[in-house]
């Protein structure tokens, strides 16, 4: 797919990873259109999955979620299976964001993600029974990149009053300066199934066509120079056969070195998109369950889930 022009690649496919399992039941779905308050552009579509049953006192915890697809592919349907797992098993509202894709370049996706974050912490309560003191941010692959960036921006912007209790990073893109010369797993997994280095760089070059943007901290959160100790706890899931493994491990290590709680699990032998292939890969199913349980444990520290 990365060997053809973007318009042709989109006509071929790229919206879904084959092999997803069944969706899990949720209580209801709320579609929202988020107006902008600090940036320019169109309203941002957000799909909110609400758990079954009655919310706990104070409302459901909420997870803001960004899909993967290399900032090039994807929409609100792309990771709906995983989102329903997180909603059901983690007992939280999952708000999935339809951020702008390339050829819209940095900072379009980050601006959309930030606007959705501000909305979730304020206006979303008019539509959803959520507890804004129990917010998390997460995503997969390119969406994991956005989640890490938004957690850092929230930490560096106290005036936003946006505090995340957790960042969920599933096979995230953490360092857009990486290459086979600087990353051990770029070198070892250069031709990996699911995500080769050539494909990763094709994604990067559409989202970050200016070389000087590769090291921008809102493109490469590993290079952020803020207060790492102020960042929220992290749940990190990595694939063993993935060029991105090294940068994910380095990010987790950087957080731990700053005293931030990190739950890290590497699924050895698995390709980059394994967690979206839970219907055909047992480790994909295990990864979804483990991540969902880890999210629940952070958002319900006393175990007081709603029934």
- Which one is catalytic: 112, 242, 278, 283? 242
Check residues 272 and 4 and name the one with the higher pLDDT. 272
Mean pLDDT for the stretch of residues 271-288 = 98
Taking only the tens place, the pLDDT of each residue in 104-128 is 999 999 999 999 999 999 999 999 9
> Is the per-residue pLDDT at 306 higher than 60?
no
Half-sphere exposure of 123 (CA within 13 A, CB side): 12
Q: Record the tokens describing residue 91, joined without a space.
A: 């007992």
Is 242 an annotated catalytic residue? Answer: yes
pTM given for the model: 0.97
Q: How far apart are CA 274 and CA 35, in angstroms?
A: 34
Is 292 an annotated catalytic residue? Answer: no
Taking only the tens place, the pLDDT of each residue in 189-216 is 999 999 999 999 999 999 999 999 999 9
26 pLDDT tier (thresholds 50, 70, 90): very high
Q: Record the tokens describing residue 142, joined without a space.
A: 């390119």
- Which one is catalytic: 112, 246, 272, 283? 272
Give me the residues paired with residue 40 across strands.
none
Q: Which domains does the chain have, with CATH numbers?
A: 22-299 (3.40.50.1820)
Taking only the tens place, the pLDDT of each residue in 74-89 is 999 999 999 999 999 9
How much of the chain is in helix, strand and coil states, percent to nearest 5? 35, 20, 45
Q: How far apart are CA 15 and CA 260, in angstroms?
A: 34
Q: Record the tokens describing residue 226, joined without a space.
A: 């803020």
Give me the residues paired with residue 241 across strands.
271
- Which one is catalytic: 90, 117, 121, 141? 141
Q: What is the pLDDT of residue 13?
A: 62
Give me the residues paired with residue 237 across strands.
170, 265
Q: What is the pLDDT of residue 7?
A: 81
Q: What is the pLDDT of residue 5?
A: 81
> Is the per-residue pLDDT at 16 higher than 90?
no
């Amino acid at each position: 797919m990365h060997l053809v022009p973007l318009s042709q690649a989109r006509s071929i496919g790229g919206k879904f990873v084959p092999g997803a399992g069944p969706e899990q039941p949720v209580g209801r779905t709320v579609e929202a259109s988020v107006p902008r308050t600090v940036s320019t552009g169109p309203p941002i579509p957000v799909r909110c999955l609400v758990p079954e049953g009655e919310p706990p006192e104070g409302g459901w915890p909420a997870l803001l979620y960004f899909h993967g697809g290399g900032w090039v592919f994807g929409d609100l349907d792309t990771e709906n299976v995983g989102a329903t797992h997180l909603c059901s098993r983690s007992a939280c509202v999952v708000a999935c964001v339809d951020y702008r894709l390339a050829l819209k370049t940095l900072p379009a996706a980050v601006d959309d993600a930030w606007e959705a974050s501000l909305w979730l912490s304020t206006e979303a309560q008019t539509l959803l029974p959520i507890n804004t003191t129990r917010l998390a941010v997460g995503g997969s692959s390119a969406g994991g990149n956005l989640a890490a960036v938004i957690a850092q921006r929230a930490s560096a912007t106290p005036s936003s009053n946006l505090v995340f209790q957790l960042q969920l990073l599933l096979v995230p893109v953490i360092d857009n300066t990486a290459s086979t010369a600087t990353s051990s797993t770029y070198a070892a997994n250069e031709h990996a199934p699911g995500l080769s280095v050539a494909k990763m760089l094709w994604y990067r070059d559409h989202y970050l066509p200016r070389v000087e943007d590769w090291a921008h901290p809102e493109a490469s959160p590993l290079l952020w120079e803020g207060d790492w100790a102020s960042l929220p706890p992290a749940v990190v899931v990595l694939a063993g056969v993935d060029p991105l493994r090294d940068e994910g491990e380095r990010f987790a290590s950087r957080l731990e070195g700053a005293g931030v709680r990190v739950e890290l699990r590497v699924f050895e032998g698995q390709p980059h998109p394994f967690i979206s292939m839970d219907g055909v890969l047992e480790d994909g199913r295990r990864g979804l369950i483990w991540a969902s349980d880890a999210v629940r444990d952070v958002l319900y520290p006393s175990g007081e889930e709603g029934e």
